[in-house]
Each structure stands twice: as structure tokens, then as C-alpha cells.
Amino acid sequence: MSSFGNSVVRRRTLLATAAGALVAPMFAGRAHAAVPRVYIDPGHGGTDPGAVGNGLQEKSLTLDISLQLRNILQANWSVDVRMSRTTDITRSLTYRTDDANAWGANLFVSVHINSGGGTGFESYRYPTSDSATVSLHNALHPRVLSGMRSIGTVTDRGQKTANFHVLRETTMPAVLTESLFIDTVADANLLKRADFITAVARGHAQGIAAYLGLGTTPPAYSTIVDNATAGRFTASTNWSTSAYSAQRYGTEYRFANPVLASDAAWFKVNIPQAGNYRIDVWNPADPGYNSAAPHVVVTASGNQTVNVDQRTGGGGWRSIGTFNLAAGDRDLVGVSRWTNATGYVIADAVRVTRV
């Protein structure tokens, strides 16, 4: 997203209202919920590519950062996360703010990439923001910048204010970040690095955690493996892929009919050190899904099986227990089709956290 030259018109079109007057934001002033609700807004998407340059598209970069941000938050802190989009689809500005407001988010972060020939990182809040929004801005900006600078040299363009739709029409503290300039070669070279994108996502996560009072140091070890994680999930061709349920984790999930035979879908996890780990699973739920889907955990003392009722409780993490695990990188959690219960067996995502 650009703030220079003709792009000023584009920014106003995309982020501001046609009305000329500034409207004071209606912050709800709510206390943080027992489990804080974090709304992440990957800028642009679908028919709107955002800024483009040096072989990059803003919409793809913002989605990559935002998905990693969500994963880091959910793997390391007790928060609920909702996103305006998790795939390359078109979302209006009104949809984004209405969705966040209706969900009752505790904070809103809109992720963007800049353009216009400049360089560096800047972030925005609404001009007449309340103290909670200022606190979010103060927590987020330096941590994102620090993450970037752990990889390369980045100019700090400062904390700014603007009359952007997503900052004005949200009813909770809201900040918009602009992570480097897509049309500047040096910035684009950083944006092409996977470690830089991860550092940007981690900086956002640490800023959010600091604002919520969760601390910026995550637990010693926690990781999420999704069924779409490259090299970390295996399943036979009997397992089909679907994106039908909105309760899915990420972009898709796997499903298969039950059968009295061994045909598990496996999540591969690297356990850094022997010890006790909590294992959580995520799956969409439906009354027609399996009531006793076997989840096989490879523990230090042998396999243990936990049956999960996938008819209810979908769209969130639920623990299947704490297990003593040996160190090593291996297939750790398998979702088996071997059950007498009827209905599809679902394999979506697992989270492993040392306790």
C-alpha cells in the first residue's frame, strides 16, 4: 500500500471514507476477556493485489505474514484469533471492520506492505485514538521493527496517524502496519526472504502479547503442524481434501470414511528434548462426523490411543492429554480410520506444547 504520488489517491480510496469529516472512533473500552480475542487483517486479496513490485504482490505477503502471526500466537499464548481472510479472496473494508466488531475483538491489527519509492517500516493509528490504542501502538511498533532488524537493516519511519477506514470504523484498539516498500529493491530483497517474513510475524505476535499482558517470552517449546504443512503430514489417497467447513484450521482439512484397517494420517513433529508435552487437536465439527475418531500418540513408552468425538467442539483447540515423549523428529500423532463409529474421520491440525 503506497503513500506517495498517485498512490495517495489509492490509499484514500482503499482505507478512508468518501466523507470529509473525521469521525471519532467508538472504542468499547472493554476489559480483556479471559481468553483475549485478536483480529488479524491481511491487507488486500482476491481481485485487489495491493501494491506490486520486484516480482512481489502485497496481497500474498500480507497473507503469509498474517497466517504465520496467527500460528505463532496460537502456539505460544492462550488467545483466540480470527482473520478477515485465510486465503486469496476479496474482502471489502466494511466487511473487515464489521466482522471484527461483531466478533467482539479485543484488538485489531491490519497487515500491509508499502510502496511509493521509500524504504523502511511505519505504522498507524487513528488521529484521535484513546489511550488503549496508543498502548497497542507503542507495544507493537518497536517489536515489529526489532524483529525486522534481527535479519537486516531497516529504517524506522515512525509511529503515525491516519484517517483509514480500518482504524476509524473498528470499535476496539486498532493499528495498521506497513512492512517495507515492495517497489524498493533493497526492501523487496528482504521481503523475499522466508526468515524475514517469519521475523515480521514474530514481532507482531510479541507486540500483541505485550499489549495483552501475556509476556513476550513464549513457553519453552510449542509448535503447530497443519495438514498442509510441507513435509509434516502424510496420508494415503483414501484421505480426501476439503475446504468446506469454516471451522477448519488454515486453508483445508482431510477426511476419510472409517474402516476396520490401519490407514492413519500422520502429523510429524520434532520434539527437541524428552519430557512431558500437552497435545491439542483442531478439527471442524459436524453432527455427521465420527463420534470416536482414534488419535494415536507415539509416547516414550509406546502408542496411546485417545478417541475424539468430532461431532461437536470444532473450530478450536482441545487437549487430548499430556504425554511423556522422547526426543526426535518423527510421526508423532496419527488420526486413524480404524473405528466402529460411523461418519467421516477428520485430520486437520495438531499443537504440541511442553509443560
pLDDT band at residue 219 under the 50/70/90 scheme: low
* pTM: predicted TM-score of the whole model, two decimal places: 0.61
pLDDT band at residue 217 under the 50/70/90 scheme: low
Residue 48 or 11, more confident: 48
- Summarize the confidence of residues 78-102 as an average pLDDT: 97
Answer CATH for 7-211 from 3.40.630.40, 3.90.180.10, 3.30.160.250, 3.40.50.720: 3.40.630.40
Give the model confidence (pLDDT) of 13-60 as tens digits. 344 433 333 333 333 334 445 799 999 999 999 999 999 999 999 999
- Summarize the confidence of residues 325-337 as an average pLDDT: 94
Would you say 72 and 222 are in contact if contact means Cβ atoms under 8 Å apart? no
CB atoms within 10 A of CB 355: 12
Residue 230 or 288, more confident: 288
Amino acid making up residue 267: F
Architecture of the domain whose range is 222-354: Sandwich (2.60)
Give the C-alpha separation, 169 to 153, whole Å: 34
pLDDT band at residue 1 under the 50/70/90 scheme: low
Residue whose C-alpha is closest to residue 73's, from 197, 177, 205: 205
The β-bridge relationship of strands 233-234 and 265-271 is antiparallel
For the chain, the average pLDDT equals 88
In the set 58, 122, 169, 178, the catalytic residue is 178
The β-bridge relationship of strands 121-125 and 349-354 is unpaired
Q: Is 178 considered catalytic here?
A: yes
> What pLDDT score was predicted for residue 230?
87
Give the model confidence (pLDDT) of 150-191 as tens digits. 889 999 999 999 999 999 999 999 999 999 999 999 999 999
Percent of the chain with pLDDT strictly greater than 70:
89
Residue 96 or 321, more confident: 96
Q: Among 183-187, 227-231, 234-238, 288-292, which is the least confidently predicted range?
A: 227-231
Q: Calculate the CA dihedral of residues 85, 10, 52, 1 and round it to 10 degrees.
A: -60
SS3 call for 242: strand
pLDDT band at residue 220 under the 50/70/90 scheme: low
Would you say 81 and 35 are in contact if contact means Cβ atoms under 8 Å apart? no
Domain residue ranges of the chain, discontinuous segments joined by +:
7-211, 222-354
Residue 163 or 6, more confident: 163
